[in-house]
Structure 1
Amino acid sequence: MSRRFNFTGRVKILKEDVKIIIESHDNKLICNVQLRLEGYNLRADAMVVIEAERGRVLRIRHDWGRAGKAFTSDGASSQFDISAMGDPEDVRYRVLVVEQESCRLLATAEGLEAHSTQDGETPQRSLLPIVMRDLHGGVWELENMEESPTLVLDSGLGTKQEIKSSPVLLSLLPGVIRAILTYLAHDQQGEGPDDEGDIADGNTISMWLVQGEKWAGCSYPRTGEHSDIDEWAQNAVTGFCKEKKLRGSLAMAMEMTQES
C-alpha cells in the first residue's frame, strides 16, 4: 500500500483499546494486534492499517481488515509477520483507520508498544537496539543516529543470542559508545538543556546524552572544539567500562579461551 493519507479531523484511539502481542512461531516473529473500536463512531467499511517501525529505517505495513469487525465489546484481532524488523525491542506501532474512497484518516493510535505473551508486560526499551545484517566483510556499523542509535552487527558473527553471551559484544561496546556520544554531542552543539527533549517522553537522544554525562562525571561540551567533545566522550567510555567492570569481564573471557 503506497497511497498518501489525509490527516484532517482524525479521532484518537485510546491505548487501552489496542493490544499488541509478539509471539515466536517456527523461527518467525508474529505480531498479533487486537482492536476494540466500539463507540468511536467510525465507518464499518473503513480500512484499518497497522504500521510497525523502528525510526525511519525500517517499516512494515499490515492491512488489518475492516473496522466493522472490531465493533464489539471484545474487539477482533489480526496478525502478521515482523521478522524483517529483527529485534522486536524498540519497535513502535501505529494504528490507522482510513476511509477507503478518499484515503481520509478517520482515527489513529500512535507510539504503541508490544507486550510479551510470557509475562504480559511491555518489553523494556533497549538504549542500543541490535540488528544483524550482512555487512559484506565489515564487523559493525551504526544507523538511525538522528532518532535512536542502532548497532548493526555482521550476521556472519553468529546469532544475536550468541553474540550477546560472548566476549565479542563486550569488546565492541567501548568503541560503539564513543562513536555514538561523539556524534550526538556534535549534533547538539549550541542547544541548551531545555532544547534536548523530555526524557520522560522516551527521547532516546536525550537519554544517551544524560547517560554519557553520568559516565563522564560532567556535562557534554555544548560549545567548543572537536577535541573537547572527543575528550568528554573518552571520559564517558572510561566511566562506562568502570561501571560495567568491563576490563575484568574481558580478562576472564581471555583466560577461559586460553584454558580451552
Structure 2
Amino acid sequence: MIRKFNYTNRLKIKRTDLRVSVVQDNGTPYLEAVFLVDQYPELPADAAVYIEAYHRTKFDRFSFGTVGRLIPPDNRTLKSFSSADMQDIRFRVKVVDESDTHGQILALAEGVSAVSDDERNANRLSLLGVDPVDLGNRIWELDLENDEIPWLLVNSNIPDIQILLQRDDMFFCSVYPAIVRQILEYILFYCDEDYTSEPEEDEDSTYWQYRWLCFGKNLSGEKWPKKHNADVTIRKEWIESCVEHFCRKQRVLQKTSALLGG
C-alpha cells in the first residue's frame, strides 16, 4: 500500500542538485538517479528518500534509502510505462520524516524531467508535456488542471501525430503561439491560486505556473504584472508582448511565409 504524506513546511529541492535519467537495458527502461543530498544539511539523516516516476495516471515509486545512507534499489525498472510514455515521463523526489504515523514531507522536487548531460548543463526545464489521447474531431487542447506541468493533448487518431509535432513547422507556427497565450492567460486570469506574488524569481520553482511566468519574463524582458493589483489591460498587454516575442524568437512569420511560398 502506498503511504500518504503530509506536505507541511517542506523544503524545495533544486533541480541543479538532481540528475535523473532513463536508461535502456535490452529494451527495458530503468531509472538512474543522483541526488546531492549533502547540499541540504538541515535534513535529518534518518529521513527516507523516495523517487517517483509518473505520467498522467501511471506511477512507480522507488525507495532510495535515507538521507544519511542513500541506497538505490536493485530493481529500478519502470514497469508501469510504455515506450510511448518515455518522452513525457516526469519524476518527483521526496525526503520524508517517517517517525510519525503520517509521514511528513521535509523536502520535495516535482515535475523533474529525465534529461541528457547537455540539457542538465544548460539547466533546462520542461515546460510542456505532450500526451496523445482520443479527442474526437479536435486536433489539440490544453490540460491545465494539474500540479505537474501543462499538457498538450493531441488527437491520437491522427496517424503519426508525434512526428507532426516534432517536424511540421506549420503546426508549430499555428499552434504554439496560441499555447503560450492560453497558459499565461490561465495563470493571470483564471487560476485559483496567485502565483504572481512568489517572493523569489526562481525558474527552478516547484510550481509550473511560476516557471511559466519566468519563461514569459525571459521572452518579453518585462516582469509579469500582479494578478490582483494590475489592471486587466496591463495583464493582457504583458501576455501579448510575450506571445509577440515568442513568435519573433521562433521566426514564426518567416517560416509561415516560406511554407506558403511567400
Whether these two folds match at TM > 0.5 is yes
Q: How many pairs are equivalent? A: 244
Which of 59, 64, 74 is the equivalent residue of 1:77?
Answer: 74
State the SS of the aligned residue for 2:92: strand
Aligned residue in 1 for 2:231 = 224
Select 2:209's aligned residue among 202, 205, 212: 205
Counterpart contact for 1:19–1:33, Cα < 8 Å: yes
The TM-score, its normalising length taken from structure 2, stands at 0.63
One-letter amino acid of the counterpart of residue 248, structure 1: Q
Aligned-partner SS, 1:80: coil
Amino acid at match of 1:178: R
1:136 to partner: Cα distance: 2.5
Question: Is structure 2 residue 179 aligned with structure 1 residue 179?
Answer: no
Partner residue, 2:109? 111
Letter of the aligned partner of 2:157 in structure 1?
A: G
CA shift for structure 1 position 35: 8.9
Give per-residue Cα distances to partners, 1:100-121, cap 9 Å, x unaligned: 9x86649976317465577794
Shift of 1:74: 7.5
Q: Percent identity?
A: 19
Question: What code does the residue aligned with 1:247 have?
Answer: L
Q: CA deviation at 1:211?
A: 3.6
Q: 2:243 aligned with 1:242, yes or no? A: no
Q: Is contact 2:128–2:150 with CA below 8 Å preserved after alignment?
A: yes
Contact 2:202 2:211 survives alignment (8 Å)? no
- Shift of the 87–230 alpha-carbon distance from structure 1 to 2, 3 Å rule, reads farther
Residue correspondence of structure 1 range 153-192 to structure 2 within 5 A: 153-157=154-158, 158-167=160-169, 168-187=171-190
Does the 8 Å contact 1:6/1:103 carry over to 2? no
Partner Cα distance (2:219, 2:70) in 1 = 49
User: 1:240, 1:16 → 2: CA distance?
Assistant: 26
Give the Cα separation in 1 of the matches to 2:101 and 2:119: 34
Q: Does the 8 Å contact 2:97/2:104 carry over to 1?
A: yes
Distance 1:179 1:95, change over 3 A: closer
Is 2:257 aligned against 1:251?
Answer: yes
CA contact 1:89–1:126 (8 Å) conserved in 2: no
Change (3 A) 1:25 1:253: farther
What secondary structure does 1:78 align onto?
coil
In the superposition, relative to structure 1, how do residues 74 and 216 fare at CA in structure 2: closer, same or farther (>3 Å)?
closer
- Consecutive unaligned residues in structure 1, runs of 5 or more: none
- SS where residue 125 of structure 2 aligns? coil
Distance 1:103 1:239, change over 3 A: same
Q: How far apart are 1:215 and its partner, in Å?
A: 4.3
SS in 2 for 1:199: coil
Q: Find the aligned partners of 1:50 and 1:87 in 2 and give their Cα distance.
A: 16
CA distances 1:39-83 after superposition (whole Å, capped 9, x unpaired) = x8759xx9x8542246xx556133559x59xx9897553213263
**Cα distance in 2 between the residues matched to 1:114 and 1:128:** 11
Question: Residue 134 of structure 1 aligns with which residue?
Answer: 134
For 1:107 and 1:178, the matched residues in 2 are separated by 34
With over 3 angstroms needed to count, the CA separation of the structure-2 counterparts of 1:172 and 1:73, relative to structure 1, is closer
* Residue pair 2:5, 2:105 contacting (<8 A) in 1 also: no
Report the AA paired with residue 78 of structure 1: N
Amino acid at match of 1:79: R
Preserved CA contact (<8 Å) 2:140 2:152: yes
- Cα distance change, pair 91–252 in 1 and its aligned pair in 2 (3 A): same
Q: 1:197–1:206: 8 Å Cα contact kept in structure 2?
A: no
Cα deviation, 1:178-210, whole Å, max 9, x if unaligned, reads: 1112222214799696x2353325233234234
Q: Which ranges of structure 2 fall in alignment gaps of 5 or more residues? A: 38-43
